[in-house]
């Protein structure tokens, strides 16, 4: 199993940012659905992350003078990874 993991880890740098996001989301879903003890922790983390995302999205948005919102600026600078 360790050799398989090392092979996967060695291939990570070849993934695009979009592919890495998709991989992370797939792993999170697997952890949330897995009956193992580690999955409970993964599920709890995923739930906490989703709560944090909801809380952050509820924060007020103050628009700068250029007419773009803070979220617009974030999307321009960091991209939209949803």
What is the residue extent of each domain of the chain? Answer: 17-58
Matching residue, tokens 């617009």: 72
Tell me how far CA of residue 1 lies from CA of 4, 7, 20, 35, 67, in angstroms.
5, 10, 21, 20, 53
Give the separation between CA 30 and CA 78, rounded to whole angstroms: 26
Percent of the chain with pLDDT over 90: 0
Cβ distance 5 to 11 under 8 Å? no
Residue 40 pLDDT class (50, 70, 90 cuts): low
Residue 25 pLDDT class (50, 70, 90 cuts): confident
What's the pTM value of the predicted model, to 2 decimals?
0.39
Q: What mean pLDDT is predicted for residues 21-40?
A: 74
Whether the per-residue pLDDT at 4 is higher than 80: the answer is yes
Crossing angle (nearest 10°) for helices 17-33 and 37-57: 120
Whether the per-residue pLDDT at 82 is higher than 60: the answer is no
């Amino acid at each position: 199993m360790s050799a398989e993991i090392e092979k996967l880890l060695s291939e990570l740098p070849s993934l695009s940012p979009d592919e890495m996001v998709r991989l992370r989301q797939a792993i999170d879903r697997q952890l949330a659905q897995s009956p193992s003890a580690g999955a409970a922790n993964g599920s709890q983390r995923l739930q906490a992350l989703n709560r944090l995302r909801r809380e952050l999205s509820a924060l007020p948005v103050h628009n700068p003078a250029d007419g773009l919102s803070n979220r617009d600026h974030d999307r321009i600078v960091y991209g939209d990874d949803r």
